Amino acid sequence: MRKMLKKKEQLLAESQSQSEDETMVPVLTSKRASELPVNGADLQFGLSDVEVSRRRVYHGWNEFDISEDEPLWKKYLSQFKDPLIMLLLASAVISVVMRQFDDAVSITVAIIIVVTVAFVQEYRSEKSLEELGKLVPPECHCVREGRLDHMLARELVPGDTVCLSVGERVPADLRLFESLDLSVDESSLTGETTPLL
């Protein structure tokens, strides 16, 4: 285990020293990443339940850290940042300066209606997406204690051995150890229509 940690530290130090001249961000090539240890995991047996518990305490759940929602009044005010709304606000101010109060009031009422409708639609769509995410949580097949278990993707910890089949989503950042005719559809991320091989 100590040899693996020393090798990992050595590889990281080499990649950092090579990249310091170019950028301040450490670069780790895929070749060097493939030489890093596998977090003490056995590919056939997987992790033990005790090790999973220990890693979950240290790393947490495999899910995005969702920050607190922005207050509703801030979301409402952010609607006024739209360029067309700002143009209408400027025209309402000009109407007041030119003492055309009827035009200023009608423009202001139109702005309030448009902003309110946009706010309500955005709020409803956010809530719908949240509910859809809760409705179908991502799942995966993971090797633990020598058996293939079906579990929620949020239960994965670093070092887990995940088995992917045709049509499944990749549940986390993974390192591939073995593949057969692998192609990845990244169209939802990149917009590319052809799968990557």
Q: How many domains does the chain have?
A: 1
pTM, 2 dp:
0.51
Instruction: Give the range of the structural domain holding residue 103, as residue numbers without chain letter.
Output: 72-135
Query: Lowest mean pLDDT: which of 40-49, 117-126, 157-166?
Result: 40-49
16 compared with 37, residue with greater pLDDT: 37
Q: How confident is the model at residue 130 (pLDDT cuts 50, 70, 90)?
A: confident
Question: At residue 8, does pLDDT exceed 60?
Answer: no
Amino acid at 50: V
Question: At residue 173, does pLDDT exceed 70?
Answer: yes
**What is residue 152's three-state secondary structure?**
strand
47 compared with 133, residue with greater pLDDT: 47
Inter-residue long-range contacts of 69-75, CB under 8 Å, 24+ positions, other chains counted: 72/123, 75/119, 75/122, 75/123
In a domain, 142, yes or no: no
Structure tokens at 195: 């799968």
In a domain, 89, yes or no: yes
Question: At residue 180, does pLDDT exceed 90?
Answer: no
The CA-based angle 38-39-43, given to 5 degrees, is 50
Whole-angstrom Cα Rg for the chain: 26
Inter-residue long-range contacts of 94-98, CB under 8 Å, 24+ positions, other chains counted: none
Amino acid at 18: Q
In a domain, 114, yes or no: yes
Q: How confident is the model at residue 23 (pLDDT cuts 50, 70, 90)?
A: very low
In a domain, 121, yes or no: yes
Closest to 60 (Cα-Cα) out of 183, 156, 165, 182: 156
91 compared with 18, residue with greater pLDDT: 91
Q: What is the pLDDT of residue 22?
A: 45
65 compared with 178, residue with greater pLDDT: 178
Structure tokens at 24: 């301040």
Q: What is the pLDDT of residue 25?
A: 43
Residue with tokens 């305490």: 57
